[in-house]
């Protein structure tokens, strides 16, 4: 029976504990799941949320893997005491939540809903929006979340371009680009731009002044990915000039977003409080249980982090 430490904030324990046991039993596994331990050397796996306070993995000498409850691992992977395999969270609930958020805000921009709501002044504005097939949407990032969002948008009829750092296989509904030249081509066509890249050294300030200038004038931006993807000063300048018509931002360099941050009061910014996609205990437990099953069976773990890339 593997020993599993649930290293997360105390309030998460009652939310996850029954679902983790259920998901493991469904796979024929019985686990000894504990919220704390006086014997770290006896632990085989750690279900991990950094907010639980565990930072030193050195005492866990028998540890086989750390199974993150977070999709983003930029705050976990660099830990020098973490030398065992690290698996990030990929699960249906997280993916579907992100898909819904992105599709909703793309449609909000496409239909110009904000302007329609703001025009309740007795003035009749009969001009219809274009059809989705006449609108280009770019999704930067073609991992599980980016691909799900791109496919959903293509299903609604949008012309979708998906960009990734390295080449991806052809997709029947998504035009794919990669690399530096591909990024420039993608941005030049992005009437609506969705950012779903991980936070790495290579992606920090990816959307800087020079790349914002490549966008069609009046483009809209949706960032539910990582706050570090955008040069905040450059974005504010682009919003002020009209190069970017509006930005919907769900993630920030500092969270919660400080009360005096200019994003709060900028008329062309919508702030949402990191709600685009949440880890749900029911679905996340399936991913955790499957990796424990694989670990016990000697099979490769799913969603392993490449430390050299940071995701």
What total number of domains does the chain contain? Answer: 2
- Both tokens assigned to 36: 């704390």
The stretches of 111-163 forming alpha helices (DSSP H) are: 113-118, 144-155
Tell me, yes or no, whether 152 lies in a domain. Answer: yes
What residue numbers bound the domain in which 67 lies? 3-91+279-297
| 289 and 263 belong to one structural domain | no
Q: Please compute the mean of the pLDDT values over residues 244-259 and round it to a whole number.
A: 98
Tell me, yes or no, whether 306 lies in a domain. Answer: no
| 145 and 263 belong to one structural domain | yes
| 12 and 54 belong to one structural domain | yes
| 78 and 122 belong to one structural domain | no
- Assess whether pLDDT exceeds 80 at residue 24: yes
> Residues 131-149: pLDDT tens digits?
999 999 999 999 999 999 9
Tell me, yes or no, whether 304 lies in a domain. Answer: no
Q: For residue 310, what pLDDT band results from cuts at 50, 70 and 90?
A: confident
How far apart CA 196 and CA 254 sit, in angstroms, is: 18
| 96 and 70 belong to one structural domain | no
Tell me what pLDDT residue 123 has.
Answer: 76
- Assess whether pLDDT exceeds 70 at residue 51: yes
C-alpha dihedral, 291 to 295 to 299 to 302, nearest 10°:
30
> Residues 111-134: pLDDT tens digits?
999 988 776 677 777 788 899 999
Tell me what pLDDT residue 265 has.
Answer: 98
| 10 and 82 belong to one structural domain | yes
Tell me what pLDDT residue 308 has.
Answer: 81
CATH number of the domain at 238, please: 3.40.50.720
> Residues 208-251: pLDDT tens digits?
999 999 999 999 999 999 999 999 999 999 999 999 999 999 99
- Looking at per-residue pLDDT, the higher value among 294 and 92 belongs to 294
Q: Kindly report the average pLDDT of the chain as a whole number.
A: 96
Tell me, yes or no, whether 308 lies in a domain. Answer: no
- Exposed, middle or buried by CB within 10 Å (0-12, 13-18, 19+), for 241? exposed
> Residues 149-192: pLDDT tens digits?
999 999 999 999 999 999 999 999 999 999 999 999 999 999 99
Tell me what pLDDT residue 119 has.
Answer: 66
Tell me, yes or no, whether 236 lies in a domain. Answer: yes
The catalytic residues are: 226, 274
| 105 and 229 belong to one structural domain | yes
Count of C-beta atoms within a 10 Å radius of residue 274:
16
Tell me what pLDDT residue 124 has.
Answer: 77
- For 56, the 3-state DSSP assignment is coil
| 183 and 38 belong to one structural domain | no
Give the full edge-to-edge strand order of the sheet including 159-164. Answer: 175-178, 159-164, 136-140, 192-195, 219-223, 244-249, 269-271
Tell me, yes or no, whether 303 lies in a domain. Answer: no
Q: Is the pTM of this model over 0.85?
A: yes
Tell me what pLDDT residue 179 has.
Answer: 97
How far apart CA 73 and CA 93 sit, in angstroms, is: 18
């Amino acid at each position: 029976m593997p020993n599993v430490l649930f290293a997360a904030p105390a309030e998460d324990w009652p939310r996850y504990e029954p679902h983790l046991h259920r998901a493991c039993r469904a796979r024929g596994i019985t686990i000894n799941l504990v919220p704390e331990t006086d014997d770290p050397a006896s632990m085989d796996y750690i279900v991990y949320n950094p907010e639980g306070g565990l930072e030193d993995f050195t005492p866990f000498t028998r540890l086989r893997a750390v199974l993150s409850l977070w999709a983003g691992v930029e705050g976990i992977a660099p830990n020098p005491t973490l030398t065992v395999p690290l698996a990030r969270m990929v699960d249906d609930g997280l993916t579907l939540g992100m898909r819904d958020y992105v599709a909703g805000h793309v449609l909000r921009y496409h239909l110009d809903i904000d302007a329609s709501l703001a025009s309740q002044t007795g003035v009749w504005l009969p001009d219809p929006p274009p059809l989705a097939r006449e609108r280009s949407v770019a999704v930067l990032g073609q991992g599980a979340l980016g691909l799900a969002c791109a496919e959903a948008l293509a299903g609604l009829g949008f012309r979708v371009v998906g960009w990734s750092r390295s080449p991806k296989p052809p997709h029947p509904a998504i035009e794919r680009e990669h690399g530096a030249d591909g990024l420039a081509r993608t941005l030049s066509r992005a009437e609506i731009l969705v950012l779903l890249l991980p936070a790495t050294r290579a992606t920090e300030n990816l959307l800087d002044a020079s790349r914002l200038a490549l966008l069609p004038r009046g483009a809209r931006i949706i960032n539910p990915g990582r706050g570090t993807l955008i040069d905040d000063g450059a974005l504010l300048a682009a919003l002020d000039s009209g190069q970017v018509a509006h930005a919907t931002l769900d993630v920030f360099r500092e969270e919660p977003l400080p009360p005096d941050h200019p994003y709060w009061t900028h008329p062309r910014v919508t702030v949402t409080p990191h709600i685009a996609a949440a880890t749900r205990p029911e679905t996340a437990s399936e991913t955790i249980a499957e990796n424990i099953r694989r670990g016990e069976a000697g099979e490769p773990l799913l969603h392993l982090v490449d430390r050299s890339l940071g995701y």
